[in-house]
């Protein structure tokens, strides 16, 4: 059973917003407009509040109202209490965001993309401490201390919350000198006499030549897999390509800075294909934490913006998400 005093306390608290608004405007009419009530409803609530408190809050005149001495004292207390409440809420939110988030990334993505984004994340969320791990494999969320993971691959991760980040475009890249030596821009078929650089772990369980084979099948360009070097990271392929060792399969998200700097070129830029996709995955029981939600939202925004920019710059109308 609810005690009568509890009802009185609830009514007092419920009517304080009316009192504060009326005291601020010194007008029941303006308070009503601010609160979405009628002038009569505001007047009734103030009268009810005065009855419960046992003293008068306003002096009423023909065209104006004025706070009584008791009303001024109550307003001061109400304002101080609300300021304290707002500060407490801010502190609690900051505490919720002040946490470590363990993020797993493919090594090449961490080196070639995420490292450029980290300063921006720090500006947005200085309370969140990121622990970055790099893995080319899938994470066992039940036994490893990972909160979020970004996968590059073909999708499909049962038992996990999946946030699609977008499709990746791929195209061969090499040094300007290598492209000139092989005359790749003038004669694309010369790719058959070129050395190919492979990421042999493009995504979990991918075949050794998966990206090049996918690109060849989609573009109809024949390739020679005999003349090739294999690496276990895309970043190593790109580094070797910059040194003139051959053609690497470039993912737009990773190669854009090198293209802009001119250390790599895409001699067959009009021959692109979609290969893998980026997905952000999270264990179901971790998705609701504020710091993890903030990290997810930030990563989604970064991927969406960058993939759209790269698609537009390279003449593709494909929506990345």
Q: Which two tokens stand for residue 183?
A: 């005359």
Detail the DSSP E strand segments found in 174-272.
196-199, 228-231, 247-251
Between CA 220 and CA 232 the distance in angstroms is 26
* Domain 4-96 top-level CATH class: mainly alpha
Between CA 69 and CA 55 the distance in angstroms is 10
CA dihedral 114→120→121→125, nearest 10 degrees, is 170
Domain 100-164+277-313 has CATH 3.40.640.10: no
Please tell me the predicted confidence (pLDDT) of residue 163: 93
Superfamily of domain 167-275: Periplasmic binding protein-like II (3.40.190.10)
DSSP-based three-state secondary structure for 152: strand
Between CA 21 and CA 41 the distance in angstroms is 13
Whole-structure pTM value: 0.64
Domain boundaries, the chain: 4-96, 100-164+277-313, 167-275
Question: Do the first three CATH levels of 4-96 and 167-275 match, i.e. the same topology?
Answer: no
What is the full per-residue pLDDT of the chain (321 aa) written as tens digits?
334 444 466 677 778 888 988 998 999 999 899 888 899 999 999 999 999 899 999 999 988 899 999 999 999 988 888 777 776 666 556 555 558 899 999 988 998 899 999 999 999 888 889 999 998 889 888 888 899 999 998 888 888 999 999 888 899 999 999 999 999 988 888 899 999 999 888 888 888 898 899 899 988 889 888 899 999 888 999 999 999 999 999 998 889 889 989 999 999 888 888 878 899 999 887 777 888 889 999 999 999 888 777 666 655 544 444
Please tell me the predicted confidence (pLDDT) of residue 27: 92
Q: What is the pLDDT of residues 138-195, one digit of tens each?
A: 988 888 889 999 999 888 888 899 999 988 889 999 999 999 999 998 888 889 999 9
């Amino acid at each position: 059973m609810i005690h009568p005093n509890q009802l009185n306390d609830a009514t007092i608290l419920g009517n304080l917003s009316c009192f504060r608004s009326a005291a601020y405007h010194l007008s029941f009419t303006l308070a009503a407009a601010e609160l979405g009530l009628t002038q009569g409803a505001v007047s009734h609530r103030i009268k009810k509040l005065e009855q419960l408190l046992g003293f008068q809050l306003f002096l009423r005149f023909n065209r104006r109202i004025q706070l009584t001495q008791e009303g001024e004292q109550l307003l001061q207390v109400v304002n101080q209490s609300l300021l304290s409440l707002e500060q407490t809420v801010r502190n609690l939110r900051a505490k919720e965001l002040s946490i470590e988030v363990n993020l797993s990334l493919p090594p090449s993505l961490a080196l070639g993309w995420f490292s450029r984004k980290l300063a921006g994340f720090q500006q947005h969320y200085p309370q969140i401490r990121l622990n970055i791990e790099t893995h080319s494999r899938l994470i066992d969320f039940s036994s490893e201390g990972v909160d979020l993971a970004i996968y590059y691959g073909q999708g499909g991760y049962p038992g996990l919350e999946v946030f699609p980040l977008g499709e990746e475009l791929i195209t061969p890249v090499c040094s300007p000198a290598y492209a000139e030596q092989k005359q790749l821009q003038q004669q694309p078929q010369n790719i058959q006499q070129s050395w190919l650089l492979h990421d042999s772990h493009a995504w979990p369980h991918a075949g050794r030549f998966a990206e090049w084979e996918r690109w060849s099948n989609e573009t109809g360009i024949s390739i020679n897999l005999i003349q090739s070097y294999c690496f276990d990271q895309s970043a190593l392929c790109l580094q070797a390509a910059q040194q003139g060792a051959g053609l690497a399969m470039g993912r737009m998200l990773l190669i854009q800075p090198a293209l802009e700097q001119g250390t790599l070129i895409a001699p067959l830029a009009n021959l692109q294909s979609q290969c893998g996709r980026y997905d952000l995955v999270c264990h179901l029981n971790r998705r609701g934490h504020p710091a993890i939600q903030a990290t997810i939202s930030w990563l989604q925004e970064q991927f969406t913006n960058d993939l759209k920019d790269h698609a537009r710059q390279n003449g593709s109308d494909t929506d990345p998400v």
